[in-house]
Chains A and B, each alone.
Chain A
């Protein structure tokens, strides 16, 4: 299991579009990805739950990577967040 923290820089936060892209990216990886904000944790492929987190700009989330090629998945997720959020 690997984790990393990320602080959202996109001023609009994780609204519909980034949530869709995040879910899509997570689906393509062979690891299980979860997103944690405060006490809530959701699967990154669960689009609606993801949107339901209401993650806003400046908030810090924890990304957890579990199983599969964790190394590659972590790189991919980091890259995704850096370039999109």
Chain B
């Protein structure tokens, strides 16, 4: 349960990234545009002669400022659509449309109720705003997130819905915008009554944070850093940046909520004399440790690396340090020591929190679009002038931080012998960790603990022959309908054990009958397929998934040697049955697989010997070193081209290694001559083996595993 909530939160956090990724660009436009249209700035730098109101440069800068600003003004809509896209499982474009619809409908419903109650005057002070021309309740980005999450939930539930025959036109994805509009009409009405209560609650909570002063800022900073490893920091700081929680302020006659919004409103306002520290205290603290502290820590790790590894490690750490310094993206660096030395990360969190507090104490008013790198410092600190921002304190504190980080890290690494990059045992590869590594570790750990993963889904997946064997999963009223790549891999006994009352085979189609609860079975299976555990199903020892009787059966099977063949081309995997040539699709030539190539090159699928290159050079016979007889046949009916457009790079009898170029061909010309280039690889002596299984689907790169032969 805990893991599930965590998983959802993590996805929510990730779905914020799409709209957030836009902010640096919008911030750049706004930052440059507004800096050089601000009369105070122009006067300070003596630019009034070059940039004056109504002039060409001024107009360009004004356009930049306003187009940047519009992004921040409509963040709620961007979040409504962006989160819907991020959280939708499939057919994401429909979710995006529905997100926009939901947002408009909800606000319009609220707007109608506001006028019915007597207009804005009848509402509490500062509780209303105008969004996209609609007078509505001030909900900030929360309003957008409510829509985004709700629409995604509706979408995932209904995008495959089947309606009765007469209404079938409105079924499936078309139903999602429809149900969204109805639901958000109701949500709008409900919000009109509930939101004012929430508003006063948030205001009080924000007040508490504001009143707890410097300590409050310190704690905010620690929590924000501590959530980084979990990818949940966006969920935590966004409310402060974007909603009433981070304060509210009247700027140029408009009520602005959220720390970041306040900063950018002040940036756009020509009346600003100093940026409000009550807002920027949720941001400025990032600069000292991102620009100075962490790069110094990287230097400490470099110094602590073994001499012979320094060169290798230096490049890695330098790029990570530069990323942190310039853009404020710290994960590449932080993940480098997070695993090997969690204690060091804890120290880092405390120092980071302290940085926020110090910036607060020194009244530093520098905001940011996304994170605290040198680019943001320049745009929103230095360019705005020290009187407005006190940015000089960032450099002063930053330099001290650099020294502190360097000595703390160097001391801890050497004292506790932490295995930071360049200090690990020789067999370990030096590398920077990525978010993927974190997730993989987590899920691997979770998967090992049998109680923590979905046993039934694992059983079903195993019964269906593993993830690689699935080409499509769907369900009807009572049956799980699965298209598999190799029906022979399906084990009915395992499926029945998972609760199925029957299994029906039809060619590559398998129907597993579960009864009305099948939709739950299916969604669980789909969720399970999204986890890393499903890729590594084989890591589970059999007893963890199967009961002992089954285990014995498996063990009693004689061990057979498996031969693996690797993709002979770059392209898309096509089932042999689907190849438009009877000779292949009927399997007269043997079992195998085909590829629709994206490049005119045929590579050796294994080590072996060229038995014969066809005189027409469109096909080649290979015998693998295990004695497997393989026919690679480029295109359909291409024998008729008599060798034109083909070039062979090997001779009969030549020894070859996996990945050697065998034949190159001109794809375009063959196509223009009216032939398909689908290239089957068939095992001519299929009858010598127990099974020939395709183990790949979709796009493939030459050299990836494609066939298993037992």
Contacts and interface: CB of A to CB of B under 8 A. Distances in A.
B616 A15 contact: yes
A42 to B, nearest CB: 12
B589 A16 contact: yes
B583 interface: yes
Interface residues of B, number: 21
Contacts of B629: 47-48
B574 to A, nearest CB: 17
Interface stretch (B319-327, B431-439, B441-449, B607-615): B607-615
A83 to B, nearest CB: 15
A80 B623 CA distance: 28
Contacts of B583: 16-17, 20-21
B612 A52 contact: yes
Interface string B629-665: 1010100000110000000000000000000000000
B116 interface: no
Given A21-B588, A24-B588, A47-B590, A15 B612 contact: no
A85 to B, nearest CB: 14
A51 B588 contact: no
A3 B685 CA distance: 26
B581 interface: yes
A51 B631 contact: yes
Interface string A8-47: 0000100111011101100000000000000000000001
Contact of A48 (B582, B615, B616, B621): B621
A48 B589 CA distance: 9
A20 to B, nearest CB: 4
Nearest to B589: A20
Given A15-B639, A16-B631, A20-B588, A47 B611 contact: no
B94 interface: no
B619 interface: yes
A19 B629 CA distance: 14
Contacts of B685: 47-48
Contact of A47 (B582, B623, B684): B684
A51 B685 CA distance: 13
Interface residues of A, number: 15
Contacts of B611: 48, 52
SS class, residues of chain B in contact with chain A: mixed
Nearest to B680: A16
A52 B621 contact: yes
Contacts of A16: 583, 589, 614, 619, 631, 633, 639
Scoring A16, A20, A24, A56 by chain B CB atoms within 10 A of each residue's CB, the highest score goes to A16
Contacts of A58: none
Contacts of A12: 639-640
A12 B642 CA distance: 9
Contacts of A54: 612, 614-615
A17 B636 CA distance: 10
Contacts of A24: 588
A48 B631 contact: yes
Contacts of B614: 15-16, 51, 54
A51 B629 CA distance: 12
Contacts of B612: 51-52, 54
A54 to B, nearest CB: 6
Contacts, number: 52
A16 B633 CA distance: 8
Interface in B570-607: 581-583, 588-590
Contacts of A23: 588
A23 B623 CA distance: 18
A52 B631 CA distance: 11
Contact of B621 (A20, A51, A56): A51
A20 B684 CA distance: 9
Contacts of B631: 16, 47-48, 51
A24 B584 CA distance: 13
Contacts of B588: 17, 20-21, 23-24
A48 B684 contact: yes
Interface in A47-66: 47-48, 51-52, 54, 56
Nearest to B652: A52
B639 to A, nearest CB: 5
B593 to A, nearest CB: 16
B665 to A, nearest CB: 16
Contacts of B619: 15-16
A21 to B, nearest CB: 6
Interface centre among A17, A24, A54 (most CB of B within 10 A): A17
A12 B615 CA distance: 11
Contacts of A17: 581-583, 588-589, 639
Contacts of B615: 54, 56
A16 B631 CA distance: 9
Interface in B86-103: none
B350 to A, nearest CB: 70
Contacts of A21: 583, 588
A30 B156 CA distance: 58
A26 to B, nearest CB: 12
Contacts of A56: 615
B709 to A, nearest CB: 15
A56 B614 CA distance: 11
B253 to A, nearest CB: 80
B686 to A, nearest CB: 9
A82 B621 CA distance: 27
Contacts of B621: 48, 51-52
A38 to B, nearest CB: 16
Contacts of A15: 614, 616, 619, 639
B639 A48 contact: no
A48 B633 contact: no
A74 to B, nearest CB: 22
Contacts of A48: 611, 621, 623, 629, 631, 684-685
Contacts of A19: 589
Contacts of A47: 589-590, 629, 631, 684-685
A33 B582 CA distance: 24
B671 to A, nearest CB: 20
Nearest to B587: A20
B437 to A, nearest CB: 45
Nearest to B640: A12
B656 to A, nearest CB: 16
Contacts of A51: 612, 614, 621, 631, 684
A19 B631 CA distance: 12
Contacts of B623: 48
Nearest to A45: B687
Interface of A: 12, 15-17, 19-21, 23-24, 47-48, 51-52, 54, 56
6 contacts: A15-B619, A17-B583, A17-B639, A47-B629, A51-B621, A54-B615
Given A20-B589, A52-B611, 8 more contacts: A15-B614, A15-B616, A16-B619, A20-B588, A24-B588, A47-B631, A48-B621, A48-B631
Question: Which are the 10 A-B pairs with shortest beta-carbon distances?
Answer: A17-B583, A20-B588, A20-B589, A47-B684, A48-B629, A48-B684, A15-B639, A52-B612, A24-B588, A20-B583
